[in-house]
Amino acid sequence: MNTIINVKNISKSYSRGLLALDNVSLKVNQGKVLVIMGPSGSGKSTLIRTFNGLEAFDSGEINILGIKINQYHNERRIQKIRKRVGMVFQQFNLFPHLSILDNITLAPLNVQKRSRVDAEEYGMYLLNQMGISMHAEKYPSQLSGGEQQRVAIARALALKPEVLLFDEPTSALDPERINEVLDVMRKLAQDGMTMVVVTHEINFAKDVSDHILFMDSGKVIETSTPDIFFSNAKHERSRKFLNQLNK
């Protein structure tokens, strides 16, 4: 089994001396889904954003797809990672001045230098997969939140990434719209995509994930399989968190 993401002892502190990440280590293997859970402010988002260099860290090392990054921000290596790792954000972050199809083809055209015909064909294929090909010519503001998030997933997939990072992809959605996004993510997991997902969706975590990583105040509290985590969590802190969520 290939290790795709290998994080070794990374730490990050903010200027106030507050530790955002405290000696975090984790591994994600090829084709596996890691779900990161934890209360807000626990450093989940900070952690996932270090994987593609959106967030710098102070010590430790990340090896992702064989590319190593450390505290010295090496822009060229990070650029290499970003070409192979897709990311989906909580607030979709689509480009409002570009049509849906242009949002998706922007990176393939300019980063991978693919031909327009090729990029648009693949973009339409992805939109079809997401069930929103009829919106290709519209602009982001004309779509609902769930549709926008599916466009964002298609945009991340357009670069044919080997890993997908999801930073609370359903937290900004209406309850009725959450499932249309989760279904897309389930399908991706079934197709063997390696994924790291920060989420509060328990059912998604139970069904789809291979591992759950629970964090609190920058520390990894426990890592276990979903069966064990949801039925018989090792730590008092995890159990307390799960009780809160179930209420």
Nearer to other proteins, 159 or 221 (CB): 159
Using the rule CB under 8 A, is 157 a contact of other proteins?
no
Q: How far apart are CA 212 and CA 196, in angstroms?
A: 10
**Contact pattern from residue 191 through residue 210 relative to other proteins, giving x for each residue in contact according to CB under 8 A and a dash for the rest:** --------------------
Q: Closest CB to other proteins among 9 and 79?
A: 79
In 3D space, the residue among 21, 65, 26 whose CA is nearest the CA of residue 47 turns out to be 21
Member of 30, 115, 128, 142 binding other proteins (CB under 8 A)? 142
Distance of closest approach, residue 97 Cβ to other proteins, in angstroms: 5
Pairing of strands 163-167, 85-88: parallel
Size of the site for other proteins (CB under 8 A): 27
Q: Is the Cβ of residue 56 or residue 242 nearer to other proteins in the bound state? A: 56
> Interface mask (CB under 8 A) for other proteins, residues 79-118, using x and -?
x--xx--xx-x-x-xxxxxxx------xx--xx-------
**Distance in Å, CB of 181 to other proteins, minimum:** 17
Q: CA nearest 149: which of 125, 191, 185, 123?
A: 185
Nearest-approach distance from CB 23 to other proteins, in angstroms:
25
Cα–Cα distance for residue pair 132/219, rounded to 1 Å? 39
* DSSP assigned state of 233: -
Determine, following the binding rule CB under 8 A, whether residue 40 of this chain makes contact with other proteins: no
- Tell me: does residue 52 bind other proteins (CB under 8 A): yes
Q: What is the DSSP track for 15-72?
A: TTS-EEEEEEEEEEETT-EEEEE--TTSSHHHHHHHTTTSS--SEEEEEETTEEE-SS
Is there binding between residue 65 and other proteins (CB under 8 A)? no
Buried b (16+ CB within 10 A) or exposed e, 142-159: ebebbbbbbbbbbbbbbb
Q: Which among 1-9, 46-54, 116-124, 216-224 is the span making contact with other proteins, rule CB under 8 A?
A: 46-54
Q: Which residues bind other proteins (CB under 8 A)?
A: 52-54, 79, 82-83, 86-87, 89, 91, 93-99, 106-107, 110-111, 139, 141-142, 155-156, 159
